């Protein structure tokens, strides 16, 4: 009977080089945090109109990807797809690492990170942010339990499926909560939409799987392990389906807004007159993050499946970044409608599209969060047995 053998990755020169680079990025991010903490948010591109800047885009990217990275483990234990079972451990570790990286960016961008203690000890259950504190911490605990059940053979047969179902349901609720942060902000016409919850869930599926594919291929190449075309083909085809689902909900969001007269202004801004936001929507989200990777995945190409998986995954991540930038930043840049049906002007930028230029400090913090997530995954792969020694195609 075949058994999957798990081993830690070796400390090769490539592994050490990557670790040094990641530590350097984390060091730069730490310096940026201290600099902004000392001089205030005035040194960033954020202002009274754009209060959620580039770090929030990075944070939401990582949080949404964390939910989606658990896809592979869920397919193995919840849906009994045996082909994905060897990858379940890496799926859980990556999910926790991405969430920690995203939350780290979010906390360090608050200006007063110490006030997180207030949010964790004083709960206002009428706020979606309080719900998310519980959802995020609960996710880490449940996925940690999920990993233990997977790795302990004495409890694995009895508990892996019920714990897997719990983790699957929790991650759906978590992503719903993240999307609801924007969907329930009725004051912003660019946010106010019930479709935000399924939109974020579909985005998590494609984004999380894209990140998982890149990390999987990178770890196997760094340790000189074999990964077969069959498993890559399965994951890449699934990625294509998730991209199509994310595209569908993105189109549904804008069609719904176009139907509602109160949202016609924001739609005209995003689709036609928004400048950088319009460019990012059509060329970043739709073309680069949707149509091109789907053509690459489903079209007949002579390139190797690993190359297609890498390129398609990178395109999906770039497209998701453009989508969230347009949603988060563009949604704030469009002026608030204080009195619907009337034109409002004042000395406090009422009725004016807000300007925003991301600073290096914001970029450094966001990249630092990604580096923390990747480094944590790499350390886990070095000290824990989460990677199969061989994922080569089975010989028939």
Asked if residue 1 is part of any domain, the answer here is no
Secondary structure of 321-365 as H, E, C letters: HHHHHHHHHHHHHCCCCCCCCCCCCCCCCCCCCCCCCCCHHHHHH
Residue 2 has pLDDT above 70, yes or no: no
Residues paired with 6 in a beta bridge: 388
pLDDT of 127 reads 76
Pairing of strands 387-388, 6-7: antiparallel
**pLDDT bucket at 301, cuts 50 / 70 / 90:** low
Asked if residue 393 is part of any domain, the answer here is no
Reduced to 3 states (helix: H, G, I; strand: E, B; else coil), residue 126 is coil
Asked if residue 285 is part of any domain, the answer here is yes
Range in 113-117, 167-171, 356-360 the model is least confident about:
113-117
> Which residue's entry shows tokens 């914001």?
362
pLDDT of 1 reads 35
Q: What is the mean pLDDT of residues 198-206?
A: 95
- Give the DSSP H or E segment for 309: helix 305-325
User: Burial letters for 1-33: b for 16+ Cβ neighbours within 10 Å, e otherwise?
Assistant: eeeeeeeebeeeeebeebbeebeebbebbeebb
Q: Give the integer Cα–Cα distance in Å for 129 and 113.
A: 15
Residue 21 has pLDDT above 90, yes or no: yes
Q: What is the mean pLDDT of residues 196-225?
A: 94
In 3D, which of 173, 251, 243, 174 has the Cα closest to residue 209? 243
Q: Give the integer Cα–Cα distance in Å for 150 and 153.
A: 7
Count of domains in the chain? 1
Which CATH number do you get for residue 170? Answer: 1.20.1630.10
* Helices 196-222 and 229-259: angle between axes, nearest 10 degrees: 160
Residue 208 has pLDDT above 50, yes or no: yes
Residue 156 has pLDDT above 80, yes or no: no
Do 326 and 285 touch, CB atoms closer than 8 A? Answer: yes
- Token pair of 224, please? 């000189």
Asked if residue 179 is part of any domain, the answer here is yes
pLDDT of 392 reads 79
Do 110 and 116 touch, CB atoms closer than 8 A? Answer: yes
* Helices 360-383 and 88-108: angle between axes, nearest 10 degrees: 150
pLDDT of 303 reads 67
Q: Give the integer Cα–Cα distance in Å for 138 and 171.
A: 10
Asked if residue 240 is part of any domain, the answer here is yes
pTM for the structure as a whole? 0.93
Asked if residue 206 is part of any domain, the answer here is yes
> Which residue's entry shows tokens 């083909």?
233
Asked if residue 353 is part of any domain, the answer here is yes
Q: What is the mean pLDDT of the chain?
A: 89
Residue 170 has pLDDT above 90, yes or no: yes
Asked if residue 396 is part of any domain, the answer here is no
**pLDDT bucket at 268, cuts 50 / 70 / 90:** very high
Residues 6+ apart with CB under 8 A from 95: 66, 67, 69, 70, 73, 139, 143, 171, 208
Q: What is the mean pLDDT of residues 49-63?
A: 94
pLDDT of 391 reads 83
Q: What are phi and psi of 348, to 5 degrees?
A: -110, 40
pLDDT of 131 reads 83
| Structural domain that includes position 262 | 6-388
Do 317 and 293 touch, CB atoms closer than 8 A? Answer: no
């Amino acid at each position: 009977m075949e058994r999957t053998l798990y081993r830690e990755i070796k400390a090769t020169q490539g592994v050490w080089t990557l670790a040094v680079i990641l530590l350097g990025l984390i060091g730069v991010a730490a310096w940026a945090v201290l600099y902004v903490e000392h001089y205030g948010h005035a040194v960033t591109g954020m202002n009274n109109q754009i209060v959620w800047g580039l770090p929030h885009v990075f944070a939401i990217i990582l949080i949404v990807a964390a939910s989606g990275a658990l896809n592979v483990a869920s397919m193995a234990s919840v849906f009994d797809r045996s082909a994905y079972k060897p990858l379940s451990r890496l799926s859980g570790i990556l999910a926790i690492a991405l969430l920690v990286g995203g939350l780290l960016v979010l906390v360090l961008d608050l200006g007063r990170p110490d006030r997180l203690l207030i949010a964790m000890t004083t709960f206002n259950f009428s706020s979606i942010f309080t719900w998310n504190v519980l959802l995020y911490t609960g996710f880490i605990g449940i996925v940690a339990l999920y990993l233990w059940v997977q790795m302990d053979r004495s409890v694995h047969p009895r508990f892996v499926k019920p714990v897997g179902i719990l983790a699957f349901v929790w991650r759906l609720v978590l992503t719903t909560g993240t999307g609801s942060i924007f969907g329930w902000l009725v004051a912003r016409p660019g946010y106010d939409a019930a479709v935000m919850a399924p939109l974020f869930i579909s985005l998590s599926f494609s984004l999380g799987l894209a990140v998982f594919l890149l990390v999987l291929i990178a770890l196997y190449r760094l340790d000189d392990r074999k990964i077969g075309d069959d498993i890559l083909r399965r994951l890449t085809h699934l990625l294509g389906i998730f991209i199509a689902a994310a595209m569908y909900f993105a189109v549904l969001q804008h069609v719904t807004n176009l139907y509602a007269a109160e949202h016609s202004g924001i739609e005209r801004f995003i689709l036609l007159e928004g400048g950088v936001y319009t460019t990012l929507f059509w060329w970043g989200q739709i073309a680069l993050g949707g149509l091109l990777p789907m053509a690459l995945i489903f079209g007949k190409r002579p390139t190797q499946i690993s190359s297609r998986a890498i390129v398609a995954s990178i395109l999906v991540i770039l497209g998701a970044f453009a989508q969230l930038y347009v949603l988060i930043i563009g949604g704030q840049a469009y002026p608030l409608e204080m009195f619907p049906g009337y034109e409002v002007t004042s000395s406090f930028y009422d009725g004016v599209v807000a300007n925003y230029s991301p600073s290096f400090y914001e970029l450094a913090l966001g990249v630092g969060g990604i580096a923390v997530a990747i480094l944590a995954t790499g350390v886990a792969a070095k000290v824990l047995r989460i990677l199969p020694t061989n994922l080569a195609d089975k010989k028939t």
